[in-house]
Structure 1
Amino acid sequence: MQSLLEDQRRAHEELECIEDAIVAEFATEPRTYGDRLFHDHRIKSLLDRAARRADRASQTYADLAGTLEAEISTIRGSPGPEDAFTEFYSRLREVKERHRQHPGQVPEYVGADLVMNEDRRLHLLQEIRSQFSGEEANGRFLDMHTLHDQMMNLHGVKKVDYLHYLDAFDRLDTISASEKGESYAKYVKGVREYLESFLQRTQPLLDTQEIQEEVEASFTDRWAAGTVPGWEKVCEELSHQDTSSSDPSLYCTPCKKQFAKQTVFDSHVASKKHKRVVNAIAAEGGQEAKKKIFKAKAEAETDKLKKRDIALNEALVQRYAQVLTPQREATKANVERKQVLTEAERQAEIAEMEAADAAIFPERRAGGDSDAIYNPLKLPLGWDGKPIPYWLYRLHGLSVDYTCEICGGHSYQGRKAFEKHFQEHRHSNGLRCLGITNSRTYHDITSIEDAKTMQEKLRRQKRSEGQMDDAAEEFEDAAGNVFSRKTYQDLKRQGLL
């Protein structure tokens, strides 16, 4: 029977197994970058599992204290001597009966799934590799192309190429505070979220929450003092509007301004500008004017919070950029290296990366379903293994099939392949089977009947040419008379010459 005590015992056993697995991981020194990344993610997963298990165990201690005491009392039995061990022996019989029904059963080891075999290692490697894009190269480089495109579309920001952007994306204090609107706030938040995500993926053991708390504590002091780079004037303007830390009697509600001294406040009240605002409010009506004043205060407070969030995100971006300095420098070096690569070198590098992925992801290996080429028109493949363009397919006449009966009905795609096949072995062997010697005369003849007709025609032509040769040959007798070869031979046999 499963009890609360057994659940707590298993929880503590599992925690001890997790601790042993973490110690085993720390005892192994990673040699390469990939080993270190795997090592950190493995320890991170173990720590998260230990935290979840410890939290569930602590809940059983806190929420089920009465249940636990009741179960212990039940096992202990009643105070009388006759029932002191009744429950104990009852549970002991259940244990013995279970072992009798399942003899030789090996007890379950709660840490069996913590043993790192080859399958679990490959599964964890796949999870790690799937978190990074190809440009990030498993966390070696930053991939900020999308953020660079967003920056290029911002108003009032200097447009630079990607290499210079990597060098200056954290210099946000150089941008005027007046240009930092909604689009800029969205962009800075995206940069902060990406760098934070990159840190969590490449350095899972790093406590990003601690970094955030440290930056926020420092930022709060500097924001209150008005020393945040790029936001000095804004902090000064907001401080005049802030009535929480100033004298409320020196705050002008119609003009929404806070004054530090009584003399300055009195001078402002006596000014024409203040009187115009008061008169305008009075003309619009008291209740409506109050609503507008409250609305203006709410808008000012919202604007203040938005500007503070933007400045805080900028401070976090600068702090994350400092932590990611090695990856940032490696990214710039990689971008410069790619700019001088030839096309052949780029293709070789892509092939090498695909081979490395195929070793980790079996479904990406050659011949897999993911590598199937989409070729609905059945176009021929080019030198790169991909279908050739359709316009080239039509230009070379590959849409026309030529069939040769002499070759056994074999079909040839395109005029070029058709003309070339007349000199190939298949066509020559087909003519040889018909008793014909392959020659230029029989080119463009694909029918067996036409080939035989051509052969007979050539034979007749050859015989007629022989007869013409006999008639064309001339002989002369002693008297100077000229005869053909046949006439001359007949006259000579008759002795008439």
Structure 2
Amino acid sequence: METILEQQRRYHEEKERLMDAKTKEMLHKKSTLRDQINSDHRTRAMLDRYMDVSANLRDSYEDKDGMRRDELAAISGPNEFAEFYNRLKQIKEFHRNNNALPCVSCRFPFPCLRSSRNLVEFSDEEGYGRYLDLHDCYLKFINLKGAEKLEYIAYLSSFDQLFDIPRTGRTLNTKSRYLEMLLEYLQDYTDRVKPLLDQNELYGKVLWTLRKNGRLGIFPKETSSALTHAGAHLDLSAFSSWEELASLGLDRLKSALMALGLKCGGTLEERAQRLFSTKGKSLESLDPSLFAKNPKAKGPKKDVERNKEIGFLESQVYEYVEILGEQRQLTHENVQRKQARTGEEREEEEEEQLSESESEDEDNEIIYNPKNLPLGWDGKPIPYWLYKLHGLNINYNCEICGNYTYRGPKAFQRHFAEWRHAHGMRCLGIPNTAHFANVTQIEDAVSLWAKLKSQKALERWQPDTEEEYEDSSGNVVNKKTYEDLKRQGLL
């Protein structure tokens, strides 16, 4: 018979054991993606158990049923010695009758989980968490009315461009079902690949953002540039005039205007002026004529509500796509690599993968890689001549990316258009334009941005010196000279 105090002691002991096991699990080196995923699932299981034990311990200390209070009164009352010997007798009888049961420490389940090979199920296409398997969602997409019929590899590059799917009354239900299917897969895949990610917190973040903006169901169209890929909203604090905004181009200005719900038409100058007029102002203080009309608001109330639901689904899909950006890129490369092979090569690859999986089950040997070469698609080190050919022995460091190191000139040149470099430039308050190509130092980027701003200031229209006037004699003078002559009465 376990008393309340003994139960609390056991809960405290189990919490300490769980904390120690989680620490060892986090410090254990993971050599492969499979080991990392299995380790995360073990940590998740221990974390869940830790929270359950903490909840039980809290309920025990709250003592709503009064059992703990009665037990403390019994062992501290006038008959405490009689109570002690009575409980000691019960403990001896219990262990005498149940001496075959394991002790509490033997029932602790988590250290033995390391012996398990696979703690979560993945399809063959997913490669144990390395790739996405969007074939079912792709079949659902190409059957949507009005959707563009794409190949699977093109779908992998554009499945997050949900704005291309029409939102007419007849397609609302089919689009909603497609989004639910896509979101369900992304949630399930994220839960398997990143079990330590709190999806409830992600859900609350999306909901809070939509309520804050108050524009449920309206999402900006993303373009293919590095700036717009990082986000449609634009920080105007780094710009001092609308001419500087105009240097970003039509697509980026349109994306920023749509994110605010403003009209996005017109020329480059009109868009830049309209966006710059919102600097330092709240949406409520803007002129109502600047906002774009929402045609959906004129439709039936049912369609308006459905559009809000679809908007909420879209926002969740955008968040998960951002989280799974690495897996998405690897999936695209893997599909592209498979399409370049013949049928015989694909069959040989499947046989090799099968033999590799069988050999891994038998013996998990460490790959011999003394020169620390990068691994190829087969999980083995690439040839050294290929390593030298692509310049992978040369490392490039970018201070703007947080001193991130890129291996090889190809990866280094490609990173200027990727999200990490664009985010670093945005943190510096500098637009990621072509002027800053190959600039990796923060000091160089800041000095170049100051120089560009001074050049733009010189190129700006100055009416006092550049606007021309003609006097009564036919002489052409600038505005300042004309005003001086006019004040002196010499015209």
Normalised-by-shorter TM-score class: 0.5 to 0.7
Identical-residue share of aligned pairs (%):
32
Find out whether 1:85 has 2:81 as its counterpart: yes
Does the aligned pair in 2 maintain the 1:140–1:330 contact within 8 Å?
Answer: yes
1:191 alignment partner in structure 2: 182
Change (3 A) 1:355 1:52: farther
Equivalent AA in structure 1 for residue 84 of structure 2: F
**1:8-31 alpha-carbon deviations (Å, 9 max, x no partner):** 221221111111110110121212
Stretch of structure 1 that moved more, 169-178 or 192-201: 169-178
1:489 alignment partner in structure 2: none
User: In the TM superposition, what is the alpha-carbon distance from 1:115 to its structure 2 partner?
Assistant: 5.4
1:154 alignment partner in structure 2: 144
Q: Which has the higher contact order (CA 8 A, sep 6+)?
A: 2
Change (3 A) 1:65 1:166: same
1:31 alignment partner in structure 2: 31
Aligned residue among 178, 193, 205 for 2:196: 205
Stretch of structure 1 that moved more, 188-197 or 136-145: 188-197
**1:301-327 alpha-carbon deviations (Å, 9 max, x no partner):** 443322111011111111211111111
CA distance in 1, matches of 2:126, 2:315: 24
Find out whether 1:108 has 2:103 as its counterpart: yes
3-state SS, counterpart of residue 335 of structure 1 = helix
Change (3 A) 1:48 1:359: farther
CA distance in 1, matches of 2:111, 2:360: 16
Equivalent AA in structure 2 for residue 182 of structure 1: N
1:407 alignment partner in structure 2: none
Equivalent AA in structure 2 for residue 113 of structure 1: F
Does the aligned pair in 1 maintain the 2:156–2:332 contact within 8 Å?
Answer: yes
CA distance in 1, matches of 2:151, 2:56: 52
After TM superposition, the score normalised by the length of structure 1 is 0.53
Equivalent AA in structure 2 for residue 116 of structure 1: P
Does the aligned pair in 2 maintain the 1:76–1:87 contact within 8 Å?
Answer: no
Does the aligned pair in 1 maintain the 2:217–2:310 contact within 8 Å?
Answer: no
CA distance in 1, matches of 2:105, 2:123: 36
3-state SS, counterpart of residue 160 of structure 2 = coil
Does the aligned pair in 1 maintain the 2:156–2:328 contact within 8 Å?
Answer: yes
Does the aligned pair in 1 maintain the 2:5–2:68 contact within 8 Å?
Answer: yes
**1:238-290 alpha-carbon deviations (Å, 9 max, x no partner):** xxxxxxxxxxxxxxxxxxxxxxxxxxxxxxxxxxxxxxxxxxxxxxxxxxxxx
CA distance in 2, matches of 1:360, 1:57: 42
1:313 alignment partner in structure 2: 313
**1:337-361 alpha-carbon deviations (Å, 9 max, x no partner):** 0011122221122123333444677
3-state SS, counterpart of residue 150 of structure 1 = helix
CA distance in 1, matches of 2:80, 2:36: 58
User: In the TM superposition, what is the alpha-carbon distance from 1:41 to its structure 2 partner?
Assistant: 1.1
Does the aligned pair in 2 maintain the 1:152–1:159 contact within 8 Å?
Answer: yes
Change (3 A) 1:96 1:161: closer
CA distance in 1, matches of 2:53, 2:12: 9
Does the aligned pair in 2 maintain the 1:17–1:111 contact within 8 Å?
Answer: no
Root-mean-square deviation (CA, aligned residues, Å) is 3.2
Find out whether 1:139 has 2:111 as its counterpart: no
CA distance in 2, matches of 1:323, 1:112: 37
2:66 alignment partner in structure 1: 66
Equivalent AA in structure 1 for residue 87 of structure 2: R
Equivalent AA in structure 2 for residue 70 of structure 1: D
Equivalent AA in structure 1 for residue 13 of structure 2: E
**1:117-152 alpha-carbon deviations (Å, 9 max, x no partner):** 4xx4343x3332xx2111000010110011111111
Q: Please, which runs of 5 or more residues in structure 2 have no aligned partner?
A: 222-256, 263-298, 363-491
User: In the TM superposition, what is the alpha-carbon distance from 1:300 to its structure 2 partner?
Assistant: 4.5
2:164 alignment partner in structure 1: 174
2:304 alignment partner in structure 1: 304
Change (3 A) 1:226 1:28: closer
User: In the TM superposition, what is the alpha-carbon distance from 1:70 to its structure 2 partner?
Assistant: 0.6
1:165 alignment partner in structure 2: 155
Does the aligned pair in 2 maintain the 1:163–1:332 contact within 8 Å?
Answer: yes
User: In the TM superposition, what is the alpha-carbon distance from 1:227 to its structure 2 partner?
Assistant: 5.2
Find out whether 1:220 has 2:216 as its counterpart: no
Does the aligned pair in 2 maintain the 1:157–1:175 contact within 8 Å?
Answer: yes
Change (3 A) 1:48 1:34: same
Name whichever structure is richer in helix by fraction: 1
Change (3 A) 1:313 1:227: closer
Change (3 A) 1:84 1:211: closer
**1:372-403 alpha-carbon deviations (Å, 9 max, x no partner):** xxxxxxxxxxxxxxxxxxxxxxxxxxxxxxxx
3-state SS, counterpart of residue 332 of structure 2 = helix
3-state SS, counterpart of residue 60 of structure 1 = helix
Change (3 A) 1:67 1:109: closer
Does the aligned pair in 1 maintain the 2:217–2:307 contact within 8 Å?
Answer: no
CA distance in 2, matches of 1:30, 1:360: 15
CA distance in 2, matches of 1:321, 1:112: 40
Equivalent AA in structure 1 for residue 174 of structure 2: S
Equivalent AA in structure 2 for residue 174 of structure 1: D
Does the aligned pair in 1 maintain the 2:162–2:314 contact within 8 Å?
Answer: yes
Stretch of structure 1 that moved more, 89-98 or 210-219: 89-98
1:54 alignment partner in structure 2: 54
Instruction: Report how many residues are paired.
Output: 290
User: In the TM superposition, what is the alpha-carbon distance from 1:229 to its structure 2 partner?
Assistant: 2.9
CA distance in 2, matches of 1:139, 1:328: 11
CA distance in 1, matches of 2:166, 2:320: 22
Equivalent AA in structure 1 for residue 181 of structure 2: G
3-state SS, counterpart of residue 35 of structure 1 = helix
Change (3 A) 1:21 1:112: farther
1:121 alignment partner in structure 2: 114
CA distance in 2, matches of 1:169, 1:319: 13
Change (3 A) 1:144 1:64: same
User: In the TM superposition, what is the alpha-carbon distance from 1:102 to its structure 2 partner?
Assistant: 8.5
CA distance in 2, matches of 1:178, 1:34: 44
User: In the TM superposition, what is the alpha-carbon distance from 1:90 to its structure 2 partner?
Assistant: 1.9
2:462 alignment partner in structure 1: none
2:483 alignment partner in structure 1: none
User: In the TM superposition, what is the alpha-carbon distance from 1:171 to its structure 2 partner?
Assistant: 0.7
User: In the TM superposition, what is the alpha-carbon distance from 1:198 to its structure 2 partner?
Assistant: 1.1
Change (3 A) 1:65 1:16: farther
Change (3 A) 1:218 1:86: same
User: In the TM superposition, what is the alpha-carbon distance from 1:40 to its structure 2 partner?
Assistant: 0.9
CA distance in 2, matches of 1:32, 1:207: 23
CA distance in 1, matches of 2:182, 2:314: 9
CA distance in 2, matches of 1:304, 1:153: 24
Q: Equivalences for 1:360-379 in 2 at 5 Å?
A: none
Q: Please, which runs of 5 or more residues in structure 1 have no aligned partner?
A: 237-298, 363-497
